[in-house]
Amino acid sequence: MTTSATLQDSALIEGTLAGRSECFTVLMNRHIPAVRRRVKSMVRNTSDEDDLVQETFLNAWRHLSSFRSDASFRTWITRVATNEVLQQYRRNRRSGIALAATDLDRFASHDESPYQALVRVEAYQTIRTAVARLPEKYRRVLILRDLDELTTHETARCIQSGLPLVKSRHFRARRMLSRAILGRSTRLSSIQ
């Protein structure tokens, strides 16, 4: 007798589409940490975070029949989360709601000084710029492995390549990123 918790994602998706809601509950519980990490990396407000995670799974429920198994369910659901965050950002920007508060959230926090907030924002921008400057083949592997938190096997499937290539590109991407960040911090400290 197989319980829902031991089934693979594909079987849980089939069960959900067949009307067994407990299968979707298992899927949700299995992937909620990855979704929460993705949303948390994109928003600062904890209440927005909870709403966005809930909205992500609601959208996944509504559009589960459109899931194609070329990628893993985790990749798909984290992409749904990313799209949901971007949608909220666009809605807020269009309506002008709480834009000033959102911007202030990036810089102001009860736990950190303005200097610490500035350092955090500059570090984030430095990393983002360094990642954007990586060659596409390395950047893609780095994002899949470190941001989307895919396994080496899942990453290999996504880029339609072998495990050794994924491992070497991931290693090289991290090394290039490290050099770019260290080079920038060395230049900045020599200016001061």
Say if CB 177 and CB 142 are below 8 A apart: yes
**Alpha carbons 47 and 165: distance in angstroms, whole number:** 40
Domain boundaries, the chain: 7-105, 109-192
| 192 residues of the chain, pLDDT tens digit each | 456 667 898 899 998 889 888 989 999 999 999 998 888 877 776 778 888 899 999 988 888 888 887 778 998 898 888 888 888 877 766 655 443 334 444 444 456 666 776 777 777 778 888 888 899 899 889 888 887 778 898 888 888 899 999 999 999 999 998 898 887 655 544 544
Say if CB 30 and CB 8 are below 8 A apart: no
DSSP string, 13-73: HHHHHTT-HHHHHHHHHHHHHHHHHHHHHH---HHHHHHHHHHHHHHHHHTGGG--TTS-H
pTM: 0.51
Query: Looking up tokens 């659901």, which residue turns up?
Result: 77
Domain 109-192 classified CATH 1.10.10.10?
Answer: yes
CB burial class (10 A; 0-12, 13-18, 19+) of residue 29? exposed
105 token code pair:
């959230």
115 Cβ contact partners less than 8 Å away, ≥ 6 residues apart:
none
Pick the CATH number of 7-105 from 1.10.1740.10, 1.20.58.100, 3.40.50.720, 1.10.1060.10: 1.10.1740.10
Q: What is the dihedral of CA 173, 49, 83, 33, to 10 degrees?
A: 60
